[in-house]
Structure 1
């Protein structure tokens, strides 16, 4: 079902609506003409109107779960979120840094695949299987974790992910056989994979549709830097310290990010803190939450006790339900978006996985030289992140009364065709043994086009599932990682021919 920009953009400036179980529409408050005060980051409403917004899928099977956040706005400002502009930027930056570890863990040992195969006395196909199974778990794990994050909050899930990820890192750093490597890589994937959906969930918690393109592109920067920087670091570390130290490095680096996150990042989940005006439960609270609510009390901003009681009544921590993710996947319109995203990311994974064999075979590169070949595709991805968000938001403002799908996809289709042409050109350049400049240029274009397309579809997906950004992103992870696993499984035999 189509949504107009007016429906999704302006309504979020007021509140996220609840979804009554007996109907398939959500009543939301439309706050028009909100003006941002850049000095303190607050927003001031001038006029309000009530309207209804259809949600994706009119049949019960395709509806988002009925546990959407309670309809509300900050009583003091009428804003979608009580966090200031500076606070929003810091929160999104922190979530983005935490999301770095999923793509980093995937890519950091790409340059060492052939070396690891020799050290563990297994074939290239077997060592590529560790990448394939990593991607399989990377798709499945967020289906469980995202539902928990949307109900229990972001911070408890971040703590669980940190614990699992680093237990696996310690085991991987100490293991000396292929079976242990295979199993522990799957555990590592389970701990790191949900951070991407958590980052998009955080953006959905505090950012409206009108700003979402820029913020999601901003939050994806770490995920883009990961595949670019990780292979370079991995190649250098493996060459000078051995590939086992790759996992000690991930343990140290992730601790440097996660410990400050757990100490200072506030809870943002709207099912737990609404627009940020409701204090989170004690076990989900940190220094900034305590300081911020004490500050609000000093300014006379009293907590709405009725709203708080309603939220506490609905708050529960139970066994994660993956069916919420499957509901998103089963929606027809969403499924088309997910498949398109999956094919594009599958090409990205295929290029990355096959790079070690391709460049060592056709250009006689060592692991460090192979790692440098990930810079061009990363550079294209960074260029995409710097431009895609602004272009997406610009098109949103200029097509305000059009369906949200049109506003998003108009900027995505041309880049999608460019991505296909770039991937085919890369295959030809490698196969033909073209001068090194040819695959480098093509990789820059491929990184730009693939990342741009992914950003557009990701923003549209979050728009289509208001209040369920983490679950929608986990559905995205599920499809793209399983398609990516197929692509990485096939690329080994193809590059070995």
Structure 2
């Protein structure tokens, strides 16, 4: 039986230290989606106080989503080569300062400008921290951890309106930005004190020490008097070969244009557009059909968040089980904390055997959500449907993200930036067009159209399923790329 990895452990961090590192960086991934949605319940109050219209205030949401997609484009490749800590801490410091400005500003131009800067800082920090799980977790164990590392994307949009509704109802809209200031400050402190550098081009499996300025404060305290470098064979430390060129924003474009990568990104973008369109129209539907205030609307996002969170235990566990099953079929031995080689494992089939059924089930459930909301049933009806929409779509999206990282294990931040770029730009259009379309055709047909689009383009994933492994082997043979 072929060994699943080399002699060196994938990471020298203990299981407990690894989990805490991923948990802290997963919290950072919340800042971007929470920042985007936290002031949804306060839009009317902000428009009134700033002396502008609701339409102009809504433009700040579109601008935020555009920058959210474009912002990491310029720095993600740097974090894949020079490290995660400096990039994420720097982005969070910018984010913290901008939120102070947002809490104090009193004009629409200042709001628009600062929201764009807020989006840049939050999205850059989120993308960088999403890559930490790929640095620390081998493929065979990645499913459950990738669910954690993408919780911000799936749970954040639901958590934001809940927090925003409570703060706006009992304080003012400015309190939402002060909340984000406090949250960012706590995240900066946690990263500074506890989170080590994880980028494998810098530290390998953790055996190679980064420069001392890049140590967490706790490590500096424990290691007083130690040298900032040590003699370690990079190959034994699991360090990949140095990149052939300096980081460039064009790396994101290059990686997204690879045939298999583009197909997966395209599918995640379609899921995200439908997911976000439902989420962004929920406040108006609840207000119109049930007469809810900001706090009640915020609380109705709880099933959405619970559905995303629960997918970690169900779908995350399932995809790890399926990967181990495929490894056994193809004679690859899975060793804990060792990286599995993909040459002999059709990882595309291992991941997509879970994803494709989830896409079809998501299509059925989103149709159910649209029509129970359309016929104004008991509130339990749409909330139960929301739970299952979130559970299934979040699970499918996380598996596709895991597949992208599997295919580009040494460039997780770059490939996640490519995914983020496409889904945020497309999502901005979906959000802008959702309410006008619902006003014309109704929420029932709106959900039906989303499901139809998901099913219509599902053959893209079938193409990856049947031909992705062969394509990857040919590409590796011609380019000698490292996965």
Aligned to 1:188: 118
**Conserved? CA contact 2:26–2:151, under 8 Å:** yes
Aligned to 1:377: 304
**Conserved? CA contact 1:200–1:470, under 8 Å:** yes
- Compared CA separation, residues 270 and 422, structure 1 to 2 (3 A): same
Q: Does 1:349 align with 2:276?
A: yes
CA distance in 2, matches of 1:287, 1:226: 29
**Conserved? CA contact 2:127–2:413, under 8 Å:** yes
Q: Does 1:471 align with 2:401?
A: no
Bigger mean CA deviation after superposition, 197-206 or 392-401: 197-206
**Conserved? CA contact 1:96–1:223, under 8 Å:** no
SS in 2 for 1:275: coil
Q: 2:352 aligns with which of 406, 409, 419?
A: 409
Unmatched segments (≥5 aa) in structure 2: 331-344, 441-483
Aligned to 2:480: none
Cα deviations across residues 14-46 of structure 1 (Å, max 9, x unaligned)? xxxxxxxxxxxxxxxxx3xxxxxxxxxxxxx4x
Aligned to 2:19: 89
- Compared CA separation, residues 317 and 404, structure 1 to 2 (3 A): closer
1:363-402 equivalent positions in 2, closer than 5 A = 363-400=290-327, 401=330, 402=345
Aligned to 1:130: 60
CA distance in 1, matches of 2:24, 2:232: 28
CA distance in 2, matches of 1:264, 1:326: 33
Aligned to 2:379: 436
Q: Does 1:213 align with 2:156?
A: no
Compute the displacement of 1:317 (Å): 12
Aligned to 2:267: 340
More helix, by proportion: 2
- Compared CA separation, residues 114 and 396, structure 1 to 2 (3 A): same
- Compared CA separation, residues 465 and 272, structure 1 to 2 (3 A): same
CA distance in 2, matches of 1:197, 1:260: 17
SS in 2 for 1:433: coil
Aligned to 1:265: 195
**Conserved? CA contact 1:151–1:317, under 8 Å:** no
Aligned to 2:158: 228
Cα deviations across residues 392-431 of structure 1 (Å, max 9, x unaligned)? 0000011122510000000111111122222233333333
Compute the displacement of 1:305 (Å): 6.9
CA distance in 2, matches of 1:183, 1:343: 29
Compute the displacement of 1:223 (Å): 4.4
**Conserved? CA contact 1:111–1:235, under 8 Å:** yes
CA distance in 2, matches of 1:414, 1:295: 56
Aligned to 1:256: 186
- Compared CA separation, residues 410 and 94, structure 1 to 2 (3 A): same
Cα deviations across residues 64-99 of structure 1 (Å, max 9, x unaligned)? xxxxxxxxxxxxxx2122112111111111111111
**Conserved? CA contact 1:125–1:493, under 8 Å:** no
Bigger mean CA deviation after superposition, 459-468 or 193-202: 193-202
Cα deviations across residues 97-125 of structure 1 (Å, max 9, x unaligned)? 11121111112112223333344444443
SS in 2 for 1:412: helix
Compute the displacement of 1:218 (Å): 2.5
CA distance in 2, matches of 1:230, 1:462: 27
- Compared CA separation, residues 358 and 437, structure 1 to 2 (3 A): same
CA distance in 2, matches of 1:295, 1:417: 58
Aligned to 1:304: 232
CA distance in 1, matches of 2:356, 2:15: 31
**Conserved? CA contact 1:228–1:374, under 8 Å:** yes
Compute the displacement of 1:214 (Å): 1.5
- Compared CA separation, residues 159 and 200, structure 1 to 2 (3 A): closer
Compute the displacement of 1:263 (Å): 2.1
CA distance in 2, matches of 1:218, 1:212: 10
Compute the displacement of 1:293 (Å): 6.8
Aligned to 1:64: none
SS in 2 for 1:368: helix
Compute the displacement of 1:155 (Å): 0.8
Q: Does 1:425 align with 2:355?
A: no
Equivalences, count:
423
**Conserved? CA contact 2:191–2:216, under 8 Å:** no
Cα deviations across residues 454-493 of structure 1 (Å, max 9, x unaligned)? 0110100000112111111111111111111111111232
**Conserved? CA contact 2:65–2:428, under 8 Å:** yes
Q: 1:140 aligns with which of 70, 78, 87?
A: 70
Cα deviations across residues 143-200 of structure 1 (Å, max 9, x unaligned)? 2221111121111101211121112101111122222222211110100012332233
Unmatched segments (≥5 aa) in structure 1: 1-5, 14-30, 32-44, 46-77
CA distance in 2, matches of 1:375, 1:240: 19
Aligned to 1:447: 390
Q: Does 1:494 align with 2:421?
A: no
Compute the displacement of 1:316 (Å): 12
**Conserved? CA contact 1:125–1:492, under 8 Å:** no
Compute the displacement of 1:213 (Å): 0.9
